[in-house]
């Protein structure tokens, strides 16, 4: 089952986050990922106790977004590979 398409606000936030990360190319990618994890931890800690989110629900939402990013990256890579193969022919 596919998730609903992201809202414009969701996509704008993703674009902003990429923009911030792109401003720090000297920081290794693994460290940038670790920093994102740190921010995720901060945001989770800021959730109100009565928000109704279980730890499992939060981690499930995070895992769905990671999977979506992986799928998008794979599609992008497949497109680049196809274009390279087309250029070779």
pLDDT at 6 over 90: no
In angstroms, rounded to a whole number, what is the distance separating the alpha carbons of residues 16 and 10?
Answer: 10
The pLDDT value given to residue 52:
87
- pLDDT digit string, tens, across residues 14-54: 899 999 999 999 999 999 999 999 999 898 889 888 888 88
- pLDDT digit string, tens, across residues 62-86: 999 899 888 988 998 898 888 888 8
pTM: 0.66
- Enumerate the H helices of the chain as residue ranges: 8-22, 29-46, 55-88
In angstroms, rounded to a whole number, what is the distance separating the alpha carbons of residues 72 and 14?
Answer: 13
**Which of these, 33, 45, 39, lies nearest to 69 by C-alpha position?**
33
pLDDT at 2 over 60: no
The pLDDT value given to residue 1:
43
pLDDT at 56 over 80: yes
């Amino acid at each position: 089952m596919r998730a609903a398409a992201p809202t414009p606000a969701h996509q704008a936030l993703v674009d902003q986050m990429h923009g911030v990360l792109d401003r720090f190319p000297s920081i290794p990618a693994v460290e940038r990922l670790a920093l994102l994890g740190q921010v995720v931890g901060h945001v989770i800690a800021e959730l109100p106790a009565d928000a109704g989110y279980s730890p499992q629900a939060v981690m499930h939402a995070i895992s769905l977004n990671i999977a979506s990013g992986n799928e998008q990256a794979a599609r992008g890579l497949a497109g680049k590979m196809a274009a390279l193969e087309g250029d070779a022919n």
